[in-house]
Amino acid sequence: MLFKRYIALFFILCLGAIAAKAATDTTKHDLNIVFIGNSITHGAGLKDWKTEAPPNETVKYLQQQPGVGAVDFANQGYSGHTTVDFLPATAKDFPKVEEAARAFANKNAQLVFSMILGTNDSAIQGPNGSPVSKEDYQTNLQTIIAVLLKDFPGCKVIIQQPTWYSPNTHNRGATYMQEGLTRLQSYFPKIKAAVKSFNKTNLGQVFLGDTDAFDFFRKNAEQYFQHESGLDGTFYLHPNKEGAVALGDFWARAIYKRLFK
Residue 99 belongs to some domain of the structure: yes
Q: Which domain holds residue 170?
A: 29-260
Alpha-carbon span 210 to 213, nearest angstrom: 7
Residue 135 belongs to some domain of the structure: yes
Residue 247 belongs to some domain of the structure: yes
Residue 12 belongs to some domain of the structure: no
Domain count, the chain: 1
Distances (CA, A) of 33 to 135, 167, 180, 252: 28, 32, 29, 11
Amino acid at 182: T
Residue 14 belongs to some domain of the structure: no
Residue 186 belongs to some domain of the structure: yes
Residue 47 belongs to some domain of the structure: yes
We report the CATH number of the domain holding residue 90 as 3.40.50.1110
The terminus-to-terminus CA distance of the chain in angstroms comes to: 43
Query: For position 44, what pLDDT does the model report?
Result: 98
pLDDT band at 196 (very low <50, low <70, confident <90, very high): very high
Alpha-carbon span 195 to 224, nearest angstrom: 29
Query: For position 18, what pLDDT does the model report?
Result: 40
Assign 3-class secondary structure to 93-134.
HHHHHHHHHHCCCCCCCEEEEEECCCCCCCCCECCCCCCCCH
pLDDT band at 25 (very low <50, low <70, confident <90, very high): low
Query: For position 9, what pLDDT does the model report?
Result: 47
- Stronger pLDDT, 256 or 203, i.e. the higher one: 256
Task: Give me the residues paired with residue 158 across strands.
Answer: 114, 207
What is the chain's length? Answer: 261
pLDDT surpasses 60 at 215 = yes
220: helix, coil or strand?
coil
Peptide bond into 131 cis (omega under 30): yes
131 in Cβ contact with 121 (< 8 Å): yes
Give the model confidence (pLDDT) of 78-95 as tens digits: 999 999 999 999 878 999
